[in-house]
Amino acid sequence: MSAAASEDRPISPLRLGLVRFAANRTALGSALVILGFILVALAAPLIAPHHPAEADLFRRLQPPAWADGGEWSFPLGCDGLGRDILSRLIWGARVSLLVAAMVIAIAAAIGTMAGLAAGYLRGWTDTLISRLVDTLLGFPYLVFAIGLMAMMGPGLHNIVLALVYKEWVFTCRVVRGETLAAREQDYVEAARAIGCRPLRVMLREILPNVLSPVLVVATFRMAYVIIMEASLSFLGLGVQPPTPSWGSMVADGRDFLVDAWWVSTVPGLAILALVLSINLASQGLRDAFDPRLHAS
Amino acid sequence: MTATRLAERLAQLLPVLFGVSVIVFLMITLTPGDPVEIMLADQRATEEQAAALRRDLGLDRPLAERFLVFLGNALRGDFGVSFFHRRPVWDVIAERLPATVELTLVALIVAILVAIPLGVIAAVKRDRWIDRALSAASLFGVSLPGFWFGILLILLFAVEFRLLPVGGRIGFAFEVPRETGFLLIDTLLAGDARAFANAVAHLILPAVTLGLPTAALLARVVRSAMAEVLASDYVLFAEAKGLSRRRVLLRHALKNALIPAVTVTAIETGSLLGGNMIVETVFGWPGLGRLVVESIFARNYPLVQAAVLLYAVTYVLLNFAADLLYTVLNPKVRL
């Protein structure tokens, strides 16, 4: 930090936050784990030892390598159709991360725009957006998503759509609050005084100042969205077979709990590891970017 | 609470309830894909049959008219006929409701019994190992997929140690006359102690699966509220008066620390309703959540629509109740 401080111009809040984040070992470690998951997902075709949908009934419920009857060519064992669990896990990371990234990106964009509009324009725009937000908050998340999936039918695009419909609300609430506060600040009034149009004030003056809360909200919501996707897939409403997803892998293993504990357990561990890392990293981000915590 | 304040809150409640019913109505209408086509996908239906179904569902009339009919029927508890069960949708739902309510209430009791002592101890022993363990546990609680947690419990307690039964609400050997639909009550009414014990055994795993993650969250709320109260002047004063530690904690501090806990509990009960769909599926619990999931695959849209509306209205009302309770309990906001 001292190198940055010795420069003449002030350090940007973003840079300061990143420096603080990197100094937090738990958060940095979690970020590396997440990066690992992303790399695995990207490299799935290169690193998966087998095809994820390749069934071999002779290997039906073959145990993990370290157990009796296991083989190192199928390290985590096989499922009820004799498919390699590790390969399915690696390909399943794609679904989890892709859905989460798409939902969060779209929801953050919509939520930010709606929050800026509601907080800055006030009046009927605010009333309309806030009413919609209140109404969407009136649904338990999973019930809402299940209801939509029931009507739309399963599939990757529909999951993204079903989750985005509600997810934007969380960003919107935060951005609206931040915008209401920013509206009273001198720099916004100055911009207004020199005749900037509302759109310019919102995008050029206020938006850069609400980006760090948006980033924080986006990361901790991402953990939640991953669990939601896994839950929908578990219920059979997610991505359809033969595409592997972690939630449906857990569901597949339910029929073999007595004979083959690994089929359900292993994919659940992957969900837990990813979601826990994201939660830890988002805690680190919150600590790094929340100036109130560092005032003392 | 004054009457005007209550009226104000009610005025906020009504638009939300209205909005919720609009969205539930639009779910079936505005989502891509034709519901009639999806419903008839498996059967070889003729054009006339499709048109007849569309007419039966009222899909051939203008949107606004359909919404008014939907709203009017919903207010009278008329959600149409479940063509799968060949009975009114509401009757099918009402039959399954007690199982879900029973599970939710027991899960809630589990959550409260675990959370309050843990939260209080963590607040008293701040920054000691139990406090740290609690923060770690609550982080786990929010990171744990509920369906997987349930499966782990089944593996451990039903498959490995054979301690608890899994599947359904009671063993097949028992026949309990249906009075209230709540098995814990019905078995007692029948005076059948063994059936009661069996029903309790069936309840434990699902209730723990549903309740423990909530407990993790609730314990954190109790902890922070308790820590705040313990640092306040009146607690210091009570201690200075020479009251016993126990008396100060339970009579003076806990009473106030529970105010936010009550609010969070009411809100969390709503979330438990959503979690029910997962837990009921994992444990084969014959409640509303399971019914909804089954109905989705049976393409029984009127039932799904009615259940989603019921869940949402309950959720909104619970949040409203939480808000009211907070105002009633907390003298500071009673203005």
pLDDT class for A20, splitting at 50, 70, 90?
confident
Q: Does B271 touch chain A (CB under 8 A)?
A: yes
User: Which amino acid is residue B214, in one-letter code?
Assistant: T
pLDDT class for B334, splitting at 50, 70, 90?
low
For A228-273, how does the pLDDT look when each residue is reduced to its tens digit (9 = 90+)? 999 999 999 988 888 899 999 999 888 888 888 888 999 999 999 9
Cβ B318 vs Cβ B269: under 8 Å: yes
Among the ranges A4-18, A78-92, A159-173, B235-249, which has the highest mean pLDDT value? A159-173
Q: Is the pLDDT of residue B88 over 70?
A: yes
pTM of this prediction? 0.89
When pLDDT is averaged across residues B285-311 and rounded to a whole number, the result is 88
For B178-201, how does the pLDDT look when each residue is reduced to its tens digit (9 = 90+)? 888 898 888 888 888 888 999 999
Count of C-beta atoms within a 10 Å radius of residue A28: 14
pLDDT class for A18, splitting at 50, 70, 90?
confident
Q: What are the beta bridge partners of residue A84?
A: A78
pLDDT value of residue A30: 93
Lowest mean pLDDT among A58-62, B148-152, B157-161, B312-316: A58-62
Among A112, A162, A160, residue whose Cα is nearest residue A136: A162
Lowest mean pLDDT among A86-100, A263-277, B153-167: B153-167
Cβ A132 vs Cβ B18: under 8 Å: no
> How wide is the angle at C-alpha B290 spanned by C-alphas B289 and B294, nearest 5°?
120
Closest-CA residue of A relative to B39 is A151
For A136-188, how does the pLDDT look when each residue is reduced to its tens digit (9 = 90+)? 988 888 999 998 888 888 888 999 999 999 999 999 999 999 999 988 888 88
pLDDT value of residue A209: 85
Distance, in Å, from the CA atom of B175 to the CA atom of B195, rounded to the nearest integer, reads: 8
Q: Is the pLDDT of residue B317 over 80?
A: yes
Distance, in Å, from the CA atom of B63 to the CA atom of B66, rounded to the nearest integer, reads: 5
Inspect the interface and report whether the beta carbons of B293 and A254 lie closer than 8 Å.
no
Q: Are strands B87-88 and B81-82 parallel, antiparallel or unpaired?
A: antiparallel
Q: DSSP strand E in chain A: where?
A: none
Distance, in Å, from the CA atom of A236 to the CA atom of A224, rounded to the nearest integer, reads: 19
Distance, in Å, from the CA atom of B55 to the CA atom of B146, rounded to the nearest integer, reads: 40
Question: In percent, how much of chain B has pLDDT > 70?
Answer: 93
When pLDDT is averaged across residues B95-122 and rounded to a whole number, the result is 92
Distance, in Å, from the CA atom of A103 to the CA atom of A222, rounded to the nearest integer, reads: 8
Distance, in Å, from the CA atom of A266 to the CA atom of A77, rounded to the nearest integer, reads: 10
Q: Quote the mean pLDDT of chain A.
A: 87
Instruction: Collect all residues of chain A within an 8 Å Cβ-Cβ radius of residue B311.
Output: 139-140, 143
Q: Three-state SS for A112?
A: helix
Among B110, B311, B141, residue whose Cα is nearest residue B205: B110
Q: Does A130 touch chain B (CB under 8 A)?
A: no
Higher pLDDT: B205 or B4? It is B205
Rg for chain B (alpha carbons), in Å? 24
- Calculated CA dihedral for residues A248, A254, A260, A261, nearest 10 degrees: 90
When pLDDT is averaged across residues B96-123 and rounded to a whole number, the result is 92
Higher pLDDT: B53 or A228? It is A228
What is chain A's length?
Answer: 296
Min distance B182 CA to chain A CA atoms (Å): 23
**Dihedral sign (CA B191, B194, B197, B201):** negative
pLDDT value of residue A86: 92
Instruction: Collect all residues of chain A within an 8 Å Cβ-Cβ radius of residue B267.
Output: none
When pLDDT is averaged across residues A124-141 and rounded to a whole number, the result is 91
pLDDT value of residue B32: 59
Q: Is the pLDDT of residue B245 over 50?
A: yes
Cβ A100 vs Cβ A159: under 8 Å: no
Instruction: Collect all residues of chain B within an 8 Å Cβ-Cβ radius of residue A279.
Output: 139, 142-143
Q: Does B320 touch chain A (CB under 8 A)?
A: no
For B8-47, how does the pLDDT look when each residue is reduced to its tens digit (9 = 90+)? 888 888 889 999 999 888 887 766 566 677 666 666 677 7
Distance, in Å, from the CA atom of A162 to the CA atom of A156, rounded to the nearest integer, reads: 10
Distance, in Å, from the CA atom of B245 to the CA atom of A65, rounded to the nearest integer, reads: 56
pLDDT class for A81, splitting at 50, 70, 90?
confident
pLDDT value of residue A50: 86
Q: Quote the mean pLDDT of chain B.
A: 84
Distance, in Å, from the CA atom of A150 to the CA atom of B296, rounded to the nearest integer, reads: 5
Inspect the interface and report whether the beta carbons of B31 and A146 lie closer than 8 Å.
no
What the block records as the tokens of A142 is 């999973």
Q: Is the pLDDT of residue B319 over 80?
A: yes
Cβ B35 vs Cβ B57: under 8 Å: yes
Inspect the interface and report whether the beta carbons of B308 and A144 lie closer than 8 Å.
yes
Distance, in Å, from the CA atom of A93 to the CA atom of A89, rounded to the nearest integer, reads: 6
Count of C-beta atoms within a 10 Å radius of residue B23: 23
Inspect the interface and report whether the beta carbons of A142 and B148 lie closer than 8 Å.
no
Inspect the interface and report whether the beta carbons of B152 and A268 lie closer than 8 Å.
yes
Q: DSSP strand E in chain B: where?
A: 81-82, 87-88
Q: What are the beta bridge partners of residue A78?
A: A84
Q: Predicted ipTM? A: 0.87
Q: Does B297 touch chain A (CB under 8 A)?
A: yes
Cβ B207 vs Cβ B103: under 8 Å: yes
Distance, in Å, from the CA atom of B287 to the CA atom of B290, rounded to the nearest integer, reads: 6
What stretch of H or E contains B171?
Answer: none
Instruction: Collect all residues of chain A within an 8 Å Cβ-Cβ radius of residue B23.
Output: 135-136, 139
Cβ B21 vs Cβ B310: under 8 Å: no
A260-294: burial string, b at 16+ Cβ within 10 Å, e else? bbbbbbbbbbbbbbbbbbbbbbbbbbbbbbeeeee
What is chain B's length?
Answer: 335
For B183, list phi and psi in degrees, rounded to 5.
-65, -35
